[in-house]
Structure 1
Amino acid sequence: MDIKNIKTEWNATILDILKAFIRICDEYGLRYYCCAGTAIGAVRHHGIIPWDDDIDVIMPRPDYDRLLEIAETADLGKYELITPYGDDTYPLYFSKISNKNTTLIEDRHIPCVIGLYVDIFPLDATDDDTEKAWALKDRYTKIINRLNAISTHNSFSEYISLLGKRKEWGRFAIKTAAFFFRKAIRRRLIQQMDRLSHLYDYDKAKNVQVYTGSYGHREVFPKAWLGSGKEFPFEDTTVLLPENYDEYLRHFFNDYMQFPPVEQRIEKHNRAYLNIHKKETREEIRGKVDFRI
């Protein structure tokens, strides 16, 4: 679903969610840093990149775990924290802070109804030996892929077609098991990721990494780059980036101040269904979209 016609309203909504998240962090003394395209937007555009469609932040694991605890009892008003522990249809290990008065389905194959959101990625301590940290990232990615496999609902023909590709046989096997034990397998995968995420003491670690990030081994970097953060203007507010933001961004994107080619200036997220003005249930959505519920 294209959002070009509502891009201004879309951006205003996710910016409002970011401001709410920052207020929570300020109130409870939680650390965060804008990351990925949001960090580039802060430095290069002083706001959301014109063709971007989301906002991403990272949180040191101790602060992230504390946020999850706070969200269990605190009144967040029109916002809610979506986590892998609260919704069996949620296909991710990281969390999102969402506007609960909106409706969003990103993938018609995944029966997860949420609202517009800001992504919150836990930033975990990892091994001081970079190659060992990379190996942990590879191990973690395999678990993420399994979680994705059991979260995705396919037609029978799509499911059987996996047998035609040898590299998809593992996915076929875990999806077969998920037909009978989806919740139990999901719970076990979340537990495995929890254990890996808490292997090292964040305060003592030299290196950190975003296990759930999409930049491969580049997700491993020195914790010293983060510092206490550096403020940047972002639309009509201010946000925090890693203190050594230039080194951090060049590590991920090389010359991040250079604009990408025009053909790469596109939205990167799917939207199978969207109602930016109202929260709808699965029953209300049924029939409006080809959504595998």
Structure 2
Amino acid sequence: MLSRLLLPLLVAAAVAPASAKQVRIAASDLLADFIVEPLQAYGEEHSVEFKVDSIGSLPALERLRSDEIDLAIIAVPKDTDVPRDEFQVFPFAYDFAVIAVNQSNPINEISLAGLGGIFGSDEESNYTTWGDLGLSGWGSRSIKTLAGQNDKSISLELFKFSVLRGGQMKTTVASVKDSEVEGVLLSDAASIAILPRLPKSEKVKALMISSEVDGPAFSPTDDNVHYGDYPIRLAFYVAYKKRDEERVKEVLRVLFSDELAASLRDNNLVALPDTVRRKWTIDLDLGE
């Protein structure tokens, strides 16, 4: 259950002249690889050395407390406290899991409990046909469940944590390569899949998800993920000590840049909405 958040993996990054200013960063191993290239490109142009260590979130916070680093990027699961009492903390990015179906499927939204009944083995409900969910004209059609496999993504762990509360999937859930999932959805309209990204085909749609059975449902847009309305997500935060604010301002501008946001999106993560990033960049320039 998101155990990878705690596994240390050290990766040294960035090479710069000996006279360059150095900024030490410890980043969650779930996204560290995706920030190195934009940081290096900026550092080479502005004589800044960014030393990025890829490490678990808890060890990263310990390094920040002991002044071994200047800035940490940490993963904070739902219902876990964000360490705002100790540090200056800002949201940075998100991982998520997407629920996708064939465009012809009449379902457009579903609750977390409904997903539990479809995919989970130990849930209160057990949905095996689309008729169980009240879909008119689809009463006898069996639900065929798929889980998109991607070694670089934690979307399935995130789904289990957010939807099944750490429980197990049904044995009938078929594991399929992430790159092949949409093909299966296109060939079988009765299928439903867990994906680590938004669907690419116009004939495959992402479902809106509600946290409560009768609550409002939200699609996995940047805004809905950032503001917490879309519930199957994992938040990453930037943390640093207040006294180091002037020192880390430069790296914060890079972390909130269009180039770094593009790198995150290219690797199936959700960057902050453009308006949010631009506001914080302006606030940095104004010293707010």
Structure number with bigger Rg: 2
Q: Which range, TM-score by smaller chain?
A: under 0.3
Larger strand share, 1 or 2: 2
TM-score normalised per structure 2: 0.25
TM-score normalised per structure 1: 0.24
